Every structure is written in structure tokens, then in C-alpha cells.
């Protein structure tokens, strides 16, 4: 498998890396964005905007609208702080936000866990095929649905 090396972040290190990447992209790391990133990074499975809005609302003692969360999550995906599991309309924090890569997920239909894998040779091939078909601004999103080893 064509893997590349990257540094996995956790906890405060992950929040610091996320903040650095967002600010490097010219965006501000606001309290609301920090709270949403913290909530997102606390999930072990892909989380919906509604899950995150509920968690942040409870922590802050005031309602945070899912639409606001969606806008911030879209910004996080654009700036590589989060990855979107398209088939579940849910998000995962990117544990290595400084590393640009394509979204390749193995999604369990039983427990809902989405395992992100890096395979540069696979995504390079998909990009090449798309370019041959005249596509530009290619962002491969590959999801394999099935039953994970724990559930199988």
C-alpha cells in the first residue's frame, strides 16, 4: 500500500495543530470554532453536525444551531482539520491536520465506525482516471462499506 508518513496528534497537541493550520489558512481560531473542534475530536466515530451542536450546546449552556456547526465543519474540511464521511453525512477530526491526503474510509455498516486509510497509490490512480475524463479540482472520496473485524 502506498502510505506516507505523518505525525498523529491527540488532545491538546491536536487542538494546537488544528489552530495553527486554521490560522495559517488566514482564518481566526474563535472560541466557537475551538469548542466545535474539541467536541468533534472527542468522538471516536463520525459525528453529525447535530451531535456536535448538542454537545457544544450542553457544555456552553446555550443553544448552538446545527447550521452554524455545518458552516464551521465545512471550513474545517476545507482547511484539512476534519474529514467528511459522505455516505453518513458525518465528520471526523483529522488527527494529522498538517498532512494533505485524500479521504479513503472503511465504513462499518454495523457499528458505524469509519477507519481512515492513506493509500497514495490508490488515490493517485483515481486522480489520473478523473484527469483523463477531463475533471479538474479533483478530490477523491472513497468509501468502502462492509462489516469491520470487531463486528464480523
pLDDT digits (tens, 9 = 90+) for 107-149: 999 998 888 888 888 888 998 999 999 998 777 889 999 999 9
Length of the chain: 152
Q: ∠ CA(20), CA(69), CA(107), 5° rounding?
A: 85
Q: Within its chain, how far is the Cα of 104 from the centroid?
A: 11
Task: Report pLDDT for 1.
Answer: 43
Query: Would you say 76 and 92 are in contact if contact means Cβ atoms under 8 Å apart?
Result: no
Show contacts of 24-32: CB within 8 Å, 24+ apart: 25/78, 25/79, 27/75, 27/79, 32/56, 32/64, 32/68, 32/72
The DSSP result for 61-111, as a single string, is TS---HHHHHHHHHHHHHTTSEEEEGGGTEEEE-S-TT----EEEEEETTT
User: Which strands sit side by side in the sheet containing 103-108, from one edge to the other?
Assistant: 114-116, 103-108, 141-146
Under the banding of pLDDT at 50, 70 and 90, the label for residue 2 is: very low
Task: Report pLDDT for 101.
Answer: 66
Phi, psi (deg, nearest 5) at residue 61: 75, 15
Find the helix or strand (DSSP H, E) in which 144 lies: strand 141-146
Q: SS3 of 146, please?
A: strand
Amino acid at each position: 500500500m502506498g502510505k506516507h508518513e505523518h505525525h498523529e496528534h491527540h488532545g491538546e497537541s491536536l487542538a494546537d495543530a488544528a489552530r495553527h493550520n486554521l490560522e495559517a489558512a488566514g482564518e481566526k481560531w474563535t472560541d466557537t470554532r475551538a469548542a466545535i473542534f474539541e467536541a468533534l475530536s472527542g468522538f471516536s466515530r463520525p459525528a453529525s453536525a447535530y451531535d456536535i451542536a448538542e454537545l457544544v450546546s450542553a457544555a456552553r449552556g446555550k443553544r448552538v444551531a446545527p447550521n452554524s456547526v455545518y458552516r464551521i465543519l465545512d471550513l474545517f474540511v476545507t482547511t484539512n482539520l476534519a474529514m467528511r464521511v459522505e455516505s453518513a453525512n458525518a465528520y471526523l477530526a483529522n488527527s494529522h491536520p498538517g498532512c494533505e491526503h485524500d479521504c479513503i474510509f472503511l465504513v462499518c455498516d454495523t457499528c458505524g465506525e469509519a477507519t481512515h486509510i492513506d493509500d497514495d497509490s490508490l488515490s493517485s490512480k483515481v486522480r489520473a482516471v478523473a484527469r483523463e475524463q477531463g475533471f479538474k479540482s479533483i478530490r477523491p472520496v472513497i468509501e468502502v462499506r462492509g462489516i469491520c473485524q470487531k463486528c464480523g
